[in-house]
Structure 1
Amino acid sequence: MRLNAKQIAAYTGGSFAVEPLDPRALMCGVTWDSRDVKPGDLYVALPGERVDGHDFVAAALRAGALGALVMQPLAEDVRALARELGAAVIDVPDTAGAVSDLAREWRSHLQGRVIALTGSTGKTTTKNLVRDVLAAAGSVTATAGNQNNELGVPKTLLAAEPECDAVVVEMGMRGPGQIAELCSIVRPDWGLVVNVGESHIELLGSRENIARAKAELLRELPEGSGLAFVNAADDFADFMREDARLDARRVPCVLFDGTEDAAARRVAASAADAVRPAVWAEQVELDEQGRARFVLHACGFDDAAAAAPHVETAPCALNLRGLHNVSNACAAAAVGRASGMSLAAVADALAHAEPEAGRQEVLRARGGFTVVNDAYNANPDSMRASLNTFCALEVPGRRVAVLGDMAELGDFARACHAGIGELAARLPLDRLVCVGELAACIADAAEKAGMDAGRIVRAATISDVLGELDTCIEPGDAVLVKASHCMGLERVVEGLVN
């Protein structure tokens, strides 16, 4: 963002409570956390249930903010401080809405391609891979962490420079219409749906409704110039393409497929799908650390009009663990290849991508054992993938899984947790530690499915988990920690590692 106070006031429908000393001075960043303010930032005072951002306007101005967006009158001493520092104070009807208004206007300044993505599982990892692939060929701005909501999405746009080659925006979804609303701000050129799973089924009631909500991204792509990326292995792929009327609106579709059935699916594809641009993986295997090795395939990007497009191949090795990341990598490869990168350059970029903290992060504990930190978040799909990846690792000692509650499953919660327990009983786990009210369903189902009750621990608190592990973990063992973020199991990771 590079906007002066008058532009900001005009874009947000605001008025000056304090005029800026230099109306031409540009503000180059936006934040609503006064602790993160950098000189030249715009500070946004967001009201909250526990903390009101208006209480920190003075701190933000002292930290170097050139302006503040407010929706409540400020004390005279704060206004006097703004005048003394030459900063602008802009009064707006709604500060959160003003952030969206700013981003909506700033979008018109961006010259590069804007790529939006969503999905039930793996969207943050896929976003990171798309970012890393495109960064090998140009300048990229991407969503930080998983800031994919009504505030994080506009913030991503505002962080992009006008000359940036690509902006990669991750979009979360908690209900119908939310992605469409985010698209009205982002106006994506390209859209990617990673998959359709069970995340947020509490709010939407069925996977079909989830697919319809995800397809809002594809529906919002510009007619005649947009480009859609769809997971060919997803059982709702055709549903979303039809729901978004991609063919009727002349929005080409690129397919990606990272499953073991990708080659067979290509053979069985319809005549129309057989000539679509596509990326898929073959010869997939995991090394002793659970990292995927495979051969990337691509066709239809340079010779889409040919009856039998030439198939390109490139070997690829990921630093990310798990078979599920092959699909994420193929999605990123499809974006890179569609952007004009060679398949070899895409594979090289994927090989250098590193996992984000809290997502299949392998840590060495002082006690000589291994901790797999996957505590950032969880849903049934990611829980299954994490357990399967963990059990594919070569471990000299025992495997211990610490599993907590999965949130936002509503009436499906107990059945979904029981399904994880049934899976755990079939896997080579030496100990299963379940923490939380819903995770008790994992323990019950695992025992019912035949897992020895002596290998199952039901814990009420994190202290209970650490106490249990302290008595049984030995050098050479490996511990997986996985749950929804609300469970706070990163404290288990910290306790184990330290």
Structure 2
Amino acid sequence: MRLNAKQIAACTGGQFLVEAIDPSALMTGVTWDSREMQPGWLYVALPGERVDGHDFVEAALRAGAAGALVMQSPGRAACLLAREMGAAVIEVANTASAVTDLARAWRGYLRGRVIALTGSVGKTTTKNLVRDVCAAYGSVVATRGNQNNELGVPRTLLAADPETAVVVVEMGMRGSGQIAELCDFVRPDWGLVTNVGESHIELLGSRENIARAKAELYAALPAGRGRAFLNLDGAYLDVLMEAGGLRERPMLLSGFAGNPDEDLREMLERDGTVCEEVVWAEDVALDGEGRARFALCARDHADHEEEALLAPVERCRCALTLTGAHNVDNAVAAASVGFALGLDLETIAAALGASVPEPGRQEVIAARGGFTIVNDAYNASPDSMRASLSTFAATEVAGRRIAVLGDMGELGDFAEACHRGVGAHAAALSLDRLVCVGALSSFIAEGARDAGMDAARISRAATVADVLEELDTLLEPGDAVLVKASHFMGLTRVVEGLVR
């Protein structure tokens, strides 16, 4: 972001409580956390249930804020401090909405390609892989962590400069219409949907409805120059294409995963639709630590002719540092973006291989006690829970495999069945111990027992303290423990307790 105080006031409909001493001075960043304030940034005072951002305006100014957006006067002392430091204080009707207004205005200055992605599982991992691949193409700004909501999305746009080559925006959603609202100001050039799973089924009621909500991203792409990236092996592909209007509007299409020859021929025979390019993986194998090795393959169908299906296949070897076969799909999705940008497969494979997981997402930690922790406690859904368990079971372990699983959220009436299904999946794997934490996870325990897992290998815990007490007597050198649950369960405290 490079906007001066007058531009910010005009974009947000704000009024000056204190004018900047230099009205032409540009503010170059935005935050609502005074602790991360950098000199020359804009501070946004957000009201909250526990704390009110207006109480930290002075702290932000002392840290170098060049301006502050507020919904009410921050007080005489803060205004005097702003005058003393030459900073602007701008009053707006709603500071959260003002962040969106700023992003909407700033989007017009961005000359690079804006790529948005969403999906039920693997959004953040895929976003990181896309970011790392795009870095081989040019300068890139991407969503930080999983800041994919109504505040994080505009902040991603505001973090980019006009010269940024690629902006990668992760979009989350809980209900219908939310992605459309984000796309309204993001105005993505390219869009990618990783998959359609069961996350947020509580509000949407069915996976088809989830697919329709995800397809709002495709529907927002500009006709003609827009590009949609399609998971050819994913569920509800027809729904995504129909709801996203991909057959009614001229659109560039790129496919990933699946069996490209069969999928493309089927699409051609059905309605004449064809992907310009398709990227997929062959010969997938996991090493002893569960990391995927595969042949990264691509074909260019840019001439849109049926005989282009016989175009030569490009191949190169790819080795991920990320664990799990499921990350191959995330990798080929990112590779399809790089291929569309014109990168060669060797460059793409190198970028994929150098990408590392974020903390809390299949993060492997060597504990002092001689055992290994797989920290996957950041979030969970039925799909990601099954994938994480399968990866854990396929990893070579000197001792025992112990899975600590907690509740999954936002499943509504499907919660019991989904948790039982995870338990049944766990029972079919090579696990030595299953520790279930939380009320809903009792169904994981029951599902595992009903599927034939020895009841002596299953235990339940009510609290993190109970889990740590059990593991303290259970874990031995050479053992490995997987920790996974939805974020609200706070099982990162289990990881922290084990690392101490």
The two structures share one fold, judged by TM-score above 0.5: yes
Kindly state the Cα deviation for residue 490 of structure 1 after the two structures are TM-superposed: 0.7
Check whether the contact 2:255–2:275 (CA below 8 A) recurs between aligned residues: no
- Corresponding position of 1:438: 440
- Corresponding position of 2:219: 219
Check whether the contact 1:275–1:307 (CA below 8 A) recurs between aligned residues: no
Instruction: Give the counterpart of 1:394 among 389, 393, 396.
Output: 396
- Corresponding position of 2:41: 41
Instruction: Give the counterpart of 1:335 among 334, 337, 347.
Output: 337
> Is the counterpart of residue 420 in structure 1 residue 422 in structure 2?
yes
* Cα distance in 1 for residues equivalent to 2:338 and 2:480: 36
Query: Which secondary structure does the structure 1 equivalent of 2:320 belong to?
Result: strand
* Cα distance in 1 for residues equivalent to 2:25 and 2:411: 48
- Corresponding position of 1:123: 123
- Corresponding position of 2:180: 180
Kindly state the Cα deviation for residue 74 of structure 1 after the two structures are TM-superposed: 2.4
Check whether the contact 2:196–2:211 (CA below 8 A) recurs between aligned residues: yes
- Corresponding position of 1:454: 456
> Is the counterpart of residue 283 in structure 1 residue 271 in structure 2?
no
- Corresponding position of 1:68: 68
Check whether the contact 1:262–1:282 (CA below 8 A) recurs between aligned residues: no
> 1:13-412 counterparts in 2 under 5 A?
13-257=13-257, 265=263, 270-271=268-269, 272=272, 276-300=276-300, 303-305=303-305, 307-308=307-308, 309-412=311-414
* Residue 275 to residue 439, structure 1, CA distance change in 2 (3 Å): closer
* Cα distance in 2 for residues equivalent to 1:7 and 1:131: 30
Check whether the contact 2:175–2:213 (CA below 8 A) recurs between aligned residues: yes
* Cα distance in 2 for residues equivalent to 1:390 and 1:411: 29
Which digits, 9 at most, give the CA deviation of each residue in 1:66-92, with x for residues without a partner?
000001122111111111111100011
Q: Counterpart amino acid of 2:34?
A: S
Query: Which secondary structure does the structure 2 equivalent of 1:444 belong to?
Result: helix
* Residue 266 to residue 321, structure 1, CA distance change in 2 (3 Å): farther
Query: Which secondary structure does the structure 2 equivalent of 1:480 belong to?
Result: strand
Q: Counterpart amino acid of 2:443?
A: C
* Residue 268 to residue 315, structure 1, CA distance change in 2 (3 Å): farther
Q: Counterpart amino acid of 2:134?
A: L
Kindly state the Cα deviation for residue 296 of structure 1 after the two structures are TM-superposed: 1.1
Query: Which secondary structure does the structure 1 equivalent of 2:307 belong to?
Result: coil
Q: Counterpart amino acid of 1:455?
A: R
Structure 1 unaligned spans of 5+: none
Q: Counterpart amino acid of 1:24?
A: S
Identity of aligned residues (%): 67
Q: Counterpart amino acid of 1:30?
A: V
Q: Counterpart amino acid of 1:381?
A: D
TM-score, normalised to structure 1's length? 0.97
* Cα distance in 2 for residues equivalent to 1:109 and 1:40: 19
* Cα distance in 2 for residues equivalent to 1:325 and 1:141: 22
* Cα distance in 2 for residues equivalent to 1:163 and 1:133: 18
Q: Counterpart amino acid of 2:415?
A: A
Check whether the contact 2:406–2:437 (CA below 8 A) recurs between aligned residues: yes
Query: Which secondary structure does the structure 2 equivalent of 1:280 belong to?
Result: strand
Query: Which secondary structure does the structure 1 equivalent of 2:68 belong to?
Result: strand
- Corresponding position of 2:471: 469
* Cα distance in 2 for residues equivalent to 1:270 and 1:389: 36
* Cα distance in 2 for residues equivalent to 1:15 and 1:274: 52
TM-score, normalised to structure 2's length? 0.97
Kindly state the Cα deviation for residue 314 of structure 1 after the two structures are TM-superposed: 1.3
Which digits, 9 at most, give the CA deviation of each residue in 1:105-130, with x for residues without a partner?
00000010000000000000000000
* Cα distance in 1 for residues equivalent to 2:19 and 2:395: 61
Bigger Cα displacement from structure 2, 439-448 vs 127-136:
439-448
* Cα distance in 2 for residues equivalent to 1:296 and 1:209: 32
* Residue 466 to residue 263, structure 1, CA distance change in 2 (3 Å): farther
* Cα distance in 2 for residues equivalent to 1:37 and 1:275: 45
Query: Which secondary structure does the structure 1 equivalent of 2:368 belong to?
Result: coil
Kindly state the Cα deviation for residue 304 of structure 1 after the two structures are TM-superposed: 4.6
* Residue 20 to residue 301, structure 1, CA distance change in 2 (3 Å): farther
Check whether the contact 2:252–2:275 (CA below 8 A) recurs between aligned residues: no
* Cα distance in 2 for residues equivalent to 1:54 and 1:210: 37
Q: Counterpart amino acid of 2:149?
A: N
Structure 2 unaligned spans of 5+: none
* Cα distance in 2 for residues equivalent to 1:275 and 1:292: 26
Kindly state the Cα deviation for residue 221 of structure 1 after the two structures are TM-superposed: 0.2
Which digits, 9 at most, give the CA deviation of each residue in 1:2-58, with x for residues without a partner?
110000000101110101111011110000001111100100000111111001111
Check whether the contact 2:260–2:278 (CA below 8 A) recurs between aligned residues: no
* Cα distance in 1 for residues equivalent to 2:464 and 2:268: 52
Count of matched residue pairs: 496
* Residue 366 to residue 263, structure 1, CA distance change in 2 (3 Å): farther
* Cα distance in 1 for residues equivalent to 2:49 and 2:58: 20
Kindly state the Cα deviation for residue 248 of structure 1 after the two structures are TM-superposed: 1.7
Kindly state the Cα deviation for residue 247 of structure 1 after the two structures are TM-superposed: 2.6
Check whether the contact 1:301–1:337 (CA below 8 A) recurs between aligned residues: no
Check whether the contact 2:253–2:275 (CA below 8 A) recurs between aligned residues: no
* Cα distance in 1 for residues equivalent to 2:76 and 2:350: 58
Kindly state the Cα deviation for residue 301 of structure 1 after the two structures are TM-superposed: 5.3
Kindly state the Cα deviation for residue 310 of structure 1 after the two structures are TM-superposed: 2.5
* Cα distance in 1 for residues equivalent to 2:172 and 2:161: 23
- Supply the RMSD in Å over aligned alpha carbons: 1.4
* Cα distance in 2 for residues equivalent to 1:266 and 1:125: 27
* Cα distance in 1 for residues equivalent to 2:74 and 2:367: 50
Runs ≥4 residues deviating over 3 A: 261-276, 301-306
Kindly state the Cα deviation for residue 347 of structure 1 after the two structures are TM-superposed: 1.0
